[in-house]
Amino acid sequence: SDLDTGEGDYMRAFPPTVRNAAGTPVNPSYEAVNRAKRSIAVDLKQPAGREVLLRLARRADALIEGFRPGVLERLGLGWETLHAENPKLVVCSLSGYGQTGPLAQRAGHDLNYIAMTGVLDQARVDGEPAIPNLQMGDLLGGTLSALGMLLAALLAAQRTGQGRYVDVAMTDGLLAHHFFPHAELDAGSSPVAQRTLLTGGVACYRVYRTADGRHLAVGALEFKFWKAFCEAAGLPELAGRHWSRGEAPGSDAASATIARVADRIARKTSSEWEHVFSEVDCCVTPVLTPAEALAHPHHNARGLVRHQGEVTEVGPLAQVSGHAWTPAPAPAQGEHTRAILAECGLDAGAIDALVQSGVVREG
């Protein structure tokens, strides 16, 4: 469609936004996922734009695209063309439902992907599906699945000299990771949210309300942790009431144990319980708000939370020796167009011509 030509990344205008010192609206979500990147804006519908992309592909290790299936081929930039230009190039197509199959051309968002893979069915509150404020389809099914397969393909290209085409579907990644409910099915039972081992169907793995209206996450899944929890909570008589000792998830017996624990936890505040369990090795933590999590001493001791102007930066995903994480802002659309084209060997006159013809856009 031509309705959004030139729009760029919709997330730039996605709520919420804040204003920086200059009064310009800034989107924290966009900043979080695009920090330290560079941006070049190219119109691929123009032949000269196609040549710009081919010039970039010749010197690249990987190309990631998120069009609907078939768009690159229609633009004359499909896998065969790109592979011919650079045999070592890895091309990764990231989509909702994949490049093949009856839903390949269907539009969707995170909510649709978790719904279609059974994930949403297993996240319920009071029996109704609850939308988690963590985009599992986008991040787990999409970003992390793409990262893993892309790195594997890059390693193969490094060793063999041959690039690969990688077809990543967010639904594929979600379905592949949703193995606990699949195991329930293989065992002959139908997984019902809030009644299975990992969805709150047992007393040792649940969220409990405290006296001050806060919540405590009890993850005492192994018997040794459950025994320690019961002793610390003043419920030693419940130590034998554990799934590993025959108390089936979702059973009447499990419900009775849950009720006993819930009554006990409701007698103290969250901070009081935190004090009780601070020296007990039994997998109990408070349920923090996002603001409390960002301010928690542990996360800050790990250097995870920093501030870039009005935007909170969180990361990196892992601590890597010899690598220092330095926060940097996300780019404006086309902010680095000139610099990138110059790196590709184009002189100022050629870049000016591309800008003036609308083939590329400057930020």
What is the three-class DSSP state of 28?
helix
Q: How far apart are CA 338 and CA 282, in angstroms?
A: 56
Q: How far apart are CA 150 and CA 164, in angstroms?
A: 9
User: Is residue 223 within 8 Å of residue 229, measured between CB atoms?
Assistant: no
End-to-end CA distance of the chain: 23
Total length of the chain: 363
Examine the residue annotation and report whether 307 is marked as an active-site residue of this protein.
no
The candidate with the shortest Cα–Cα distance to 196, out of 118, 270, 140, is 118
Q: Which of 110, 138, 172, 336 is catalytic?
A: 138
Q: How far apart are CA 206 and CA 199, in angstroms?
A: 7
Amino acid 112 reads N
Determine whether 274 is exposed, middle or buried from the number of CB atoms within 10 Å of its CB (0-12, 13-18, 19+).
middle
- H or E element: which one contains 18? strand 18-19
User: Is residue 257 within 8 Å of residue 205, measured between CB atoms?
Assistant: no
Backbone φ and ψ for 165, nearest 5 degrees, come out as: -100, 125
Amino acid 291 reads A
Paired with 313 in beta bridges are 306
Q: Which of 2, 4, 61, 109 is catalytic?
A: 109
Amino acid 323 reads H
User: Is residue 359 within 8 Å of residue 45, measured between CB atoms?
Assistant: no
**Which residue, chain included where needed, has tokens 């990138």?**
340
Examine the residue annotation and report whether 177 is marked as an active-site residue of this protein.
no
Q: What is the DSSP string of 49-114?
A: HHHHHHHHHHT-SEEEE-SPTTHHHHTT--HHHHHHH-TT-EEEEEESS-SSSTTTT----HHHHH
Q: Which residues are catalytic?
A: 109, 138
